[in-house]
Amino acid sequence: MRTHRAGELGADDAGSRVTVAGWVQRRRDHGGVEFFDLRDASGLIQVVVDPEEHPSVHDLRMEFCVRVTGEVRRRPEGTENPELPTGDVEIGAADIEILAPSKTLPFMLDDRRDVDEMVRLKHRYLDLRRPRMAANLRARSKATAAIRRTLDGEGFLEVETPTLVNSTPEGARDMLVPSRLQQGEFYALPQSPQLFKQLLMISGVERYFQIARCYRDEDSRADRQLEFTQLDLEGAFWAEDDVLDTIETVLAEVVRDLRGIEIATPFQRLTWRDAMNRFGTDKPDLRFAMEITDLSDVFADTGFGVFSSALEDDGTVKAINAGPQEWPRSRADAITDRAKELGAKGLVWVVVEEDGAVRSPVAKFFSDTETKGLIEQLDAGPGDVILIAADKWRTVVDVLGGLRLDLGRPQGHAELAFLWVVDFPLFEEDEDGEITFSHHPFTSPASIDQMRDDPENAISRAYDVVLNGVELGSGSIRIHDPDVQRQVFEILGIDEETAERRFGWFLEALQYGTPPHGGFAFGIDRLVMVLQNEPSIREVIPFPKTQSGQDPMTGAPTWVEPIQLRELGVELGAEAKLRKEASPSPEPADTQTD
RNA sequence: GGGAGCGUAGAACAGUCUGGAGUGUUCGCCGGCCUGUCAAGCCGGAGGUCGCGGGUUCAAAUCCCGUCGUUCCCGCCA
């Protein structure tokens, strides 16, 4: 079919007769001579055509699929294109064959222009021809290759686990699959292979990994899809450092292959509490400072009611120095609205003037000592804008952490800042005041005694890896003692009968000489997104879904034939029926009979 | 579930605030000219349910209400 790949031709090939095949990128018609760029997966080569000899060149349009035979020759002096790797040479066409014409394109395959994502997704196969997207596909493949190479070298076994599994009410919403053979019963698609990989430790695998598709039926975001891919791994006879070392090795290898740089290991480690206090998040972006500063001492005796009541109420007063900012009223209002969205009741802003005085709607409530202390604590200079929040501790750090990102986060991901966040709390309170696990219920506590006596302050043996403020993944040392596992369920308010019903099979497995073990999982989509400097996970997923979970190309999800539902013992509810009547277009014709 | 932005030709936009004939720009498409371009250039042409529905008005892309789609965010995401 072809003798060479287009992008690999060079001066060495001058004089040889070659056949290449690919797509017409651009045609340039000069009347007496015509050029077109032929693109294949390896790159571009310019083809020169004499239209007298080959009148069919007039028919070529963008993205026609063609095969060209001809002689490679050096370009005439002065017409070389230094922008192209193949720019020293060109092919003088002796034969041009149109393998497949193309319809007029629905959008230009051009990285210089942003096309509406809906249009791109409708024709994703064309979108993926664009250099940027083709590079993302390659980067992803290189990432998984690096992962497999590294882990294979370390003696890991790649094992597949089922994708039709049990539903569990904990955690995210499950994607459900109705069973035909067991009518009325459902499988769930896995949110992660968590319990299966623990079972593999009991099975004696010792070192497991899998590049696993995971499913969580929650609302999408720029960095979240309904289905996503994780590197999932687990090791027996492992403690924290074994897991962390392995992950650092894998990440360093992927970064080396995708970015061509060495990253420093071991990564910096922050405890969860330090991360929250200094950056207001459990996934800090360390590429910039703007750290949160505590002002509880400065305002300990303040007459300003908002601060004093927060402090009396066991809360705190903290601030960030946002640095020099344009600060018109409209911006102050917008930032205050954002603070409220993040959970604040309000926001105090203070601008430091040239003369060291402060401008703020509430400056009159501050004593001179307080103003002085404020400026000192935040190391504020003329022009700096200080944002102060006063409330419960968690609210204050959440709000300031969010504002810190809005005001200081670098664009893109030129720089890479990895870190570990460790010493997560074992449990947390949900909004109803119920105690719930903060990682997952199979995470080992740091101290069993503390877990029993003081669950609210208990620390877990869980850790997250964070890159540029993106949570790449998390892991933990697991519980390998069935009694400890039962106790955790008990603290979580899962009674013995329920635990037995849902996890009895797993508690049973734990009783057969389970080795101490731990592991990790990180999102490959997110990692590649950052390394490729993409703003959204969708740019590195070949066929993603929209925010509403639809695929504009295939139309998924769709209505199904009534008989399919009958076979499954499933019926549409009233609301679903209304929707179906209102938008019957995706409905397949009901040609089935009983 | 909620908030915000966006929706005008095949694509990307301007026009919307302050209502007055579907007006315009770039790319693509169709035709013509052109022998060294590489985002070729020049000339000509076609192409529009201004997302959809309703309202206000003598008159709506523009104002109002509703709705659909999409993106970002809050909630949610062990």
Query: What are the mean pLDDT values of chain A's consecutive 10-residue runs (594 residues total)?
Result: 96 96 96 96 96 94 97 96 96 96 95 92 97 96 98 98 92 95 96 97 98 97 97 96 97 98 96 97 96 96 94 95 90 92 94 91 94 95 95 96 95 96 91 82 94 92 97 97 93 89 94 97 98 97 96 94 95 88 52 28
Predicted confidence at residue A113, as pLDDT, reads 84
Residues A5, A39: Cα–Cα separation, whole Å: 9
Instruction: Report pLDDT for A307.
Output: 96
Whole-number distance in Å between A63 CA and B41 C1': 22
> Nearest nucleotide, C1' to the C-alpha of A170?
B78
What are the strands of the beta sheet with A293-294, ordered from one edge? A293-294, A316-324, A384-391, A348-352, A358-359
The tokens for A368 are: 């001179």
A420 DSSP β-pair partners = A269, A465
Amino acid at A198: Q
Per-residue confidence (pLDDT) for residue A585, from 0 to 100: 52
Query: A590: which 2 tokens?
Result: 């009901």
Helix-strand-coil split of chain A, %, nearest 5: 30, 25, 45
Cα-Cα-Cα-Cα torsion A339, A341, A344, A349, nearest 10 degrees, comes to: 20
What is d(CA A460, CA A451) in angstroms, rounded to the nearest whole number? Answer: 9
- From the list A554, A528, A552, the residue with the least C-alpha distance to A132 is A528
Provide the pLDDT for residue A311.
Answer: 95
What CA–CA distance (Å, rounded) separates A185 from A178?
A: 6
In angstroms, the Cα distances linking A50 to A28, A30, A87, A338 are 12, 10, 20, 63
Q: How far apart are CA A360 and CA A388, in angstroms?
A: 11
CA-to-C1' span, A46 to B35 (A): 16
Position A569 scores a pLDDT of: 96
Cβ atoms < 10 Å from Cβ of A573: 8
DSSP-derived 3-state class of residue A107: coil
Q: Scan for tokens 């070949």, then name that residue.
A: A542
Query: Residue A564 CA to nucleotide B53 C1', Å?
Result: 35
Residue-level pLDDT at A454: 92
- Residue type at A142? K
Tell me what pLDDT residue A584 has: 64
C1' (B12) to CA (A579) span, angstroms: 34
In the prediction, which pLDDT does A593 show?
Answer: 28
pLDDT of residue A152: 97
Strand B, nucleotides covered by protein (CB < 7 Å): 1, 10-13, 27-30, 33-41, 69-78
Identify the H or E element spanning A335.
Answer: helix A329-341
Closest-lying nucleotide for A342 based on CA to C1': B74
E strand spans, A257-315: 268-271, 293-294
